[in-house]
Structure 1
Amino acid sequence: MAESSYAEFDFTSVDLARLRFAFSPVSEAVASLRTLQDPGRHGLHLPWIHAVRPRLAGLDLRLLLALVPLGPYIADFLTPPPTRPLPDIDAELELVAAADPDEAAREASRVPGVNTPPVREFLADPAAGVARAADELRQYWEVALAEFWPQIRGLFESEVLRRSRQLARDGAGAMFNDLHPNITWSEGRLRIRTRAWRRSGPLDGDGMILVPSVFHWPETPVMAEPYQPYLIYPAPGVGTVWSQGVVPTPDALSALIGHTRARILVALSQAATTSILARRLSMTPGAVSQHLKVLSACGLITRKRSGREVFYECSQLGHSLCAS
């Protein structure tokens, strides 16, 4: 990555008011295609690679792989900006299928594999190419990622809650400077080291979407004009996402409150809902709920409502026990 390659965004108060978090299953699917093409660079994802590679033998992914090559640039119509905080894969795939064929053709013409047969066919009939790309992406999602999405989504939900609290508590500057070494904030300007392009200028009131990612690790891709500006950054805890159900617990804590409640308490070092915990620990929501009632009655966890969801987190006493 070139030291001098940066994207810079000047924020106004309007842009800060329009700053929001979201996450994107389609973006993760597209990024995972690069992981499959270069597994040695993404060793932490080897458990996932070993699990899904045998399943892909029957899929035709030639167009997708041509539009998502290794290197700094991909066809951006495959990763539309998230339109809501908790996106739905079907809704995002509909956005891909509805991409403007002319814009998609311009983007496809810039990929390194422009002279490969799949891309030449795409450019000959962009409307049909967009439909084919969306269909390949749907099939790929079902085979390679649908099974694993709950644990990835659980990581993202916890991260979005944590960052939203940090933004409200400490402000945009502190939050941005804590996201990743590639990302810096100074006096209203956000600077991001990139691989693909350079940019410098205002956001013009469009705001920005911040998107945590598992498969983009360790990079920080940015998208801007002609799309809604958004920044993708590696979510903390990426290295643990494939160890579903494995939560190390102190032996003394397990002896005191039981192994299952100890696992739940340790997992609540970051706030989570009952459903997030159930996915993270491979338990049923009903079982998690029963243990949460006991932990709450003992003063080991706190609860806080956010909209229709209730988030649980270690109390000060709970943190003390986990550290013992």
Structure 2
Amino acid sequence: MTLNIVKIAAGALLSVGLATAAHAQTIRVAHVDPDEWTASKKGAAAHIFKNIVEGETDLTVELYPAGALGNEDELVAQAQDNVTQVVMVSGAMSKICSAASVLDIPYTFASATIAWDVLDGEFGSALGEHCLEQTGLRTLAYGETGFRNFTNNTREIRKPEDMDGLKFRVQPIPLYLELVKGLGGAPTPIAWTELPNALSTGVVDGQENPVGVIYNNGLHKLQKYMTLDGHVYAADFILISDEFYQSLTPAQQAVVERAARIAGNMGRSIQQWSSAEGVNKVQAEGMQVYSPTAEEIAAFAEKAQPAVIEYLRGELGEDAQWIDRLQAAVANVSQ
């Protein structure tokens, strides 16, 4: 009898131990930004995520910042294989879920708050579900890379006609080629690592990036003029392997989701701060910054949007419906 009781007790303890081990999982979180709290949107977001998840669950979170596990495309592939469980990416998302590319339609969002309302609302949820079906990656929340702006070394840009004849470095993405061509500029695909030299030697006259990227990488020292036209709003996607997500308990899932939302909002806040601070700093160091009026932005949009939308409709096929859904969502929150 005593021996049986001992066996039963031992079996019970083993079951408890196995159950505990099953839930004592590790989440690898990776991104390509610096591991900083105050200047890195993804860096701060990752730490916030870690603190909340570890504070409220028995999950362990390991952080891999600054491209330690690879570039964004590689991180996405790792998440799809459940090698890295959570990744924070921006441009890589549209490569695996083509519908996400509609967010790059120029001059879609008049302000960051409109973008937040759209992404945190019905449209963002629907896009996330669609991309989950396409990729096996669940969108936990949206962060922010920020509005992209034009800089150049030739003249101030106040209207589309000021772009005529100027060569702009763009990412090797067809949508950006169409955008610059629509505005009358000459798009030139150049790798990011080659950009400073291309600006210094006059291979291109200008480029386009968020203000924080421009300042933090010293591009303002190679350019005289910046126009805060905000032609593309770039969102960060906080993604989790759905295979891993489904292995969590409902309570763990709830904490992970809430942590991601808070992390995304932290990233947005830091990006807003970085942009405001960046504008002041580049001006203090001699760069001329122009902020277009609403009428001037409308003129840019009139030139740039048709070519990009036509290109996307041809590329997306059935997913072209997401263009109309995005435009409807923007109109709804802008009322």
Determine which structure has the larger strand proportion and give its number: 2
Give the structure with higher Rg (CA). 2
**TM-score normalised over the length of structure 2:** 0.27
Greater helix proportion: 2
